[in-house]
Amino acid sequence: NAGVTQTPKFRVLKTGQSMTLLCAQDMNHEYMYWYRQDPGMGLRLIHYSVGEGTTAKGEVPDGYNVSRLKKQNFLLGLESAAPSQTSVYFCASEAGVGGLNNEQFFGPGTRLTVL
């Protein structure tokens, strides 16, 4: 039981390049999330999904796209990377079904640098 995994762990991009971050979970969770973490700003929600085939915007969605074609996977895409997207990206999942006390389980993070 691997929990939540993210690939890659590190990546360096040049401005304008594109890339996809992959998140996978093996807990059969309904909800999945992508956050970015920047110094002094905590975790900010980029996009999230409440089920296979659904996605929704979070707090900071601009410059990112997501897809949830399979329940266990949640992909985060950067079409044209910018230095402002240099950050640590975390994926998380939770069981869902609207529970207030649902814990989110986090992946190990991806450190992305855009030059």
Tell me which residues touch other proteins (CB under 8 A): 31, 33, 35, 40-45, 48, 50, 56, 58, 88, 90, 92, 98-106, 108-109
What residue type is assigned to position 57 of the chain? Answer: K
Q: State the minimum distance, in angstroms, from the CB of residue 80 to other proteins.
A: 27
Q: Which is nearer to other proteins, 35 or 74 (CB)?
A: 35
Vertex 5, ends 106 and 84: CA angle to 5°? 70
Report in angstroms how near the CB of residue 100 gets to other proteins at its nearest. Answer: 4
| CA 19/CA 11 separation, integer angstroms | 9
Residue number, 17 or 44, with CB nearest to other proteins: 44
Rank residues 38 and 79 by Cβ distance to other proteins and give the closer one.
38
Toward other proteins, which CB reaches closer, 7 or 80?
7
| Shortest separation between residue 11's beta carbon and other proteins, angstroms | 15
CA geometry: angle 73, 20, 102, nearest 5 deg? 40
